[in-house]
Amino acid sequence: MSTDPSALTKSERREIVQRAKPVVDKVQIRELNEVIELLSEAIADRSRKWFLIIDGLDEPWAEQNIQYNLIRALIESIRTFRKMDNLKIIVVLRDDLYEKVISKTKRSGFQSEKYEGIIAKVKWSPGELRMLINKRIEYLFVRKYEKRNIVKLYDVIPSNIRKFDTYNFVIMRTLFRPRDIIAFINEILENAAGKTEIGYKNVRDAEFTYSKKRLTALEEEWSSMHPMLGKYVSFLANRKEKIPFTDISVREFIEDMVLAIVEQTDSTTDGITELAQEIMKKQTATRILNMSKEWVLCLYKVGAIGVKPELGSKFLFSHADGHQLSRSQLSKDTILSVHPMLWRSLNITPNI
């Protein structure tokens, strides 16, 4: 057998993995047992309260299928530990990882409502994010200049961008998450580095860079569930902010998308690629409509678009409203709205 990894055949690589896997698993099990023993000793003292926070589960710490099954087992075991009043276990999972775990380990008789009582979605309000960014700016200035004066957002950037409040301009281009607003503010500060003041052009230039990075980050965040998300999002490019559902549920639009997908992959990684393969075999009006709806639901879920399901309803954004949409809620009256964070990277024209 060759010692050069690049020269190994598929069967040789598979053999190496099979030989190494039991060894790795034994090491992980031994480490897990040590953690369990330590935890058992700690929680034996019923007079003290303990919080166990488990994070980093999206990192490649085990073979993928094993990883998904272990995370699923971890989620299920939390309900058992809830009986212990001096121990609180908190498992931190991104939406995309949780969805992947459930889809890959789903068994017959699965009921999603069983998990609702143990799941709390972390949501930040615009007010909370403003407090966070003010505290961060104050900390940075105290550390750098050793000044004890309170420094806030509008001491650093202008309070208005043309006719818009600057904070509202920034926050509406985020998914209401700390990482987003911090990234945008950092881009503004970096763009104005060396200048005596920050102006409209600095903010707009920063927005363009931020928008491109957010698009890339969105693709990376959801790559496990939707490996072709970048391709899906690209069909929003060079359009107006508001898009009638009737514009994207037509045969020509879906045919272009199907061809773009099958040119890149022949696998069925999600509902959209599955429908694309079906349409390639036989095109029907129902499949065209279903694929357009599946595309909308995917982009809504990841935060790329908002959806106004029917006349008289408001635009819903998954990050702000938390609503789940279904195919049955989409109709000829439905309107899509491209999220402002993607306007610059996709060359979107706002509806004014």
Question: What pLDDT does 349 receive?
Answer: 92
Pick the range with the lowest mean pLDDT from 63-77, 281-295, 301-315: 63-77
Residue that is written with structure tokens 């699923």 in the block: 72
| 186-208 average pLDDT score | 88
Residue 159 has pLDDT above 80, yes or no: yes
Q: What is the percentage of the chain residues whose pLDDT exceeds 70?
A: 86
Q: What is the mean pLDDT of the chain?
A: 85
54 vs 62, residue with greater confidence: 54
For 233-249, how does the pLDDT look when each residue is reduced to its tens digit (9 = 90+)?
Answer: 999 999 999 999 999 99
Residue spans of the domains in the chain: they are 5-118, 126-221, 229-346
Confidence band, pLDDT 50/70/90 cuts, at residue 161: confident
| 303-327 average pLDDT score | 91
Question: What pLDDT does 3 receive?
Answer: 46
| 316-325 average pLDDT score | 87
Question: What pLDDT does 205 receive?
Answer: 93
Q: How far apart are CA 275 and CA 117, in angstroms?
A: 34
Confidence band, pLDDT 50/70/90 cuts, at residue 144: low
Question: What pLDDT does 146 receive?
Answer: 59
113 vs 129, residue with greater confidence: 129
Q: How far apart are CA 130 and CA 124, in angstroms?
A: 10
H-run or E-run covering 52: strand 50-54
Question: What pLDDT does 234 receive?
Answer: 96
Longest dimension (CA), the chain: 69
Question: What pLDDT does 1 receive?
Answer: 47
Confidence band, pLDDT 50/70/90 cuts, at residue 122: confident
Query: Please, where are the H alpha helices in 50-177?
Result: 64-81, 95-105, 126-145, 153-156, 166-171
Residue 308, beta-bridge partner list? 335
In one-letter notation, the amino acid at residue 131 is M
- What are the respective helix, strand and coil percentages of the chain, to the nearest 5? 60, 10, 35
First-to-last alpha carbon distance for the chain, in angstroms, is 66
Question: What pLDDT does 339 receive?
Answer: 98
The pTM for the full model equals 0.81
